[in-house]
Amino acid sequence: MNRGFVLKGDICDSRAGGALNTVQDGYVVCVDGISQGVFHELPEAFTHLPLIDCSHHMIVPGLVDLHTHAPQYAYRALGMDLELLDWLNTYTFPEETRYGDLAYALAQYERIAQDLRRGPNTRCVLFGTVHLPATELLMELMEKTGLITLVGKVNMDRNAPDTLAEKDAQQSLSNTRLWLEHCKGRFTRTGPILSPRFIPSCSDQLMEGLAELQEQEGLPLQSHLSENPKECSWVGELCPASGSYTQAYARFGMIAPGRRTVMAHCVWCKPEEIQLLKESGTFVAHCPQSNANLASGIAPLRTYLREGLSVGLGSDIAGGAHSSIFRAMSDAIQFSKLRWRLTDDSLAPLTVAEAFYLGTRGGGAFFGKVGSFEEGYEMDALVIDDSDLTTPCVRSLEDRLSRIIYLSDERQILHKFVRGERLF
């Protein structure tokens, strides 16, 4: 890696609290993978660094996908006539079973790896399947993409076909420990994340074991929370003593201060659950398109932002069909408007600046200082040639950002940097 470099161009990022920061014809400086800040004039101290002149192009932080499923990439946009639980049984579980076959896994995982390498996301939190070899293969492929990813071997020991579910909690936990053992020292950009699928798939014993592992090893953990009304009712039946879906996780210690946990969806959380998410610092992965495709609903993002929850965006493939977090941004804005119109007009729709914040700095915080060019942040950057999106109506960098969010695709991404390394 070069010790450092300077990018020159039209710069746009989010600051603390979500404010949009724009600098036309400015400089962002990277040393040892870390941003030294954004400048109108290049400080003397950095003039010795090589300058990559991207004048007239837009420079934005890489995007962060807080929630997706790699083994579901092959059936994006299929079977979208079912709600969550039927969709899982009809499509997801049979398909995930096929990842016991490593050749099949390789062929399919190569597709998502290629997509992620070329697209605008630089960080990604992924579910794999229950299978150790396929999950390790996925990690190897993710490592090669150059993105920084967290990949999960799924845990599930109940309410799934025998061909897919692990035999019992003990087997699931020993598989998980073996997998963690295999991961040690193996990757520089890829790490393991504990991945109990969701409450209905995991026995109490399994959850207890995973919560213990999370604490002992200081590992991140991902799961699903309050996505679909029928799922929520089922969790209520499975855990009658918990009082809420969030509490059903919290009782094991997974949703608690000090834990690094991200929960996908959170569409139907009640006020006391929102408080619990807030107090515990749990991340919410908002997956708007998935929540529309599976007819789950629209999460109250305005509430989450007002309350100061940690929120980012997720593509949730294959509930969502599109891997780009730019699409998740425009979906989030559109659906927040429909929610405002149809459900609760006290919750103002999301703005472009807010959606951009969610898809960069908001989700980036799960990875540390990520998702901004503020001094000290890890240098993930996209250089976007938006010249073919420019018209006389595009008058500001914020206008250009809005056009990029709604209208760009991977063809416009000229360069992509992850923690200071240039992928292309």
Which range, of 128-136, 247-255, 292-300, 376-384, touches a copy of itself by CB under 8 A?
292-300
Quick check: helix, strand or coil at residue 59?
strand
Residue that the structure tokens 């804005």 belong to? 333
Rounded Cα distance, 119 and 279, in Å: 34
Kindly identify the residues of this chain, within the stretch 342-371, that bind a copy of itself according to CB under 8 A.
342-343, 349, 351-352
Q: Which of 5, 99, 198, 335 binds a copy of itself (CB under 8 A)?
A: 335
Nearer to a copy of itself, 83 or 204 (CB): 83
Question: In Å, how far are 70, 119, 128, 199, 360 from 112, measured between CA atoms?
Answer: 7, 10, 12, 27, 20
Cα→Cα distances 246→184, 242, 267, 303, Å: 31, 8, 12, 17
CB 211 within 8 A of CB 230: no
Q: Which two tokens stand for residue 423?
A: 């992928």
Q: Which is nearer to a copy of itself, 53 or 409 (CB)?
A: 409
Q: Does 85 bind a copy of itself (CB under 8 A)?
A: no
Q: Which helix (H) or strand (E) holds 194?
A: none
**Among 25, 81, 217, 272, interactor with a copy of itself by CB under 8 A:** 81
* Cα Dmax for the chain: 65
104-123: which residues touch a copy of itself (CB under 8 A)? 104, 108, 111
Nearest to a copy of itself of 6, 318 (CB atom): 318
Segment near a copy of itself (CB under 8 A); pick from 118-126, 200-208, 360-368, 385-393: 385-393
Can you tell me which of 1, 45, 77, 178 binds a copy of itself, judged by CB under 8 A? 77
Buried b (16+ CB within 10 A) or exposed e, 363-401: bbbbbeebbbbbeebbbbbbbbbbeebeeeeeeebbebb
**At what angle are helices 132-145 and 169-183 packed, to 10 degrees?**
30
Q: Which is nearer to a copy of itself, 85 or 295 (CB)?
A: 295
Single out the residue of 10, 13, 65, 95 in contact with a copy of itself (rule: CB under 8 A): 95
**What is the closest distance, in whole angstroms, from the C-beta atom of residue 337 to a copy of itself in the complex?**
4
Contacts to a copy of itself from residues 392-421, by CB under 8 A:
392-394, 399, 402-403, 405-407, 409
Task: Give the residues lining the site for a copy of itself (CB under 8 A).
Answer: 74-78, 80-81, 95, 98, 104, 108, 111, 289, 292-298, 321-322, 330, 333-335, 337-343, 349, 351-352, 391-394, 399, 402-403, 405-407, 409
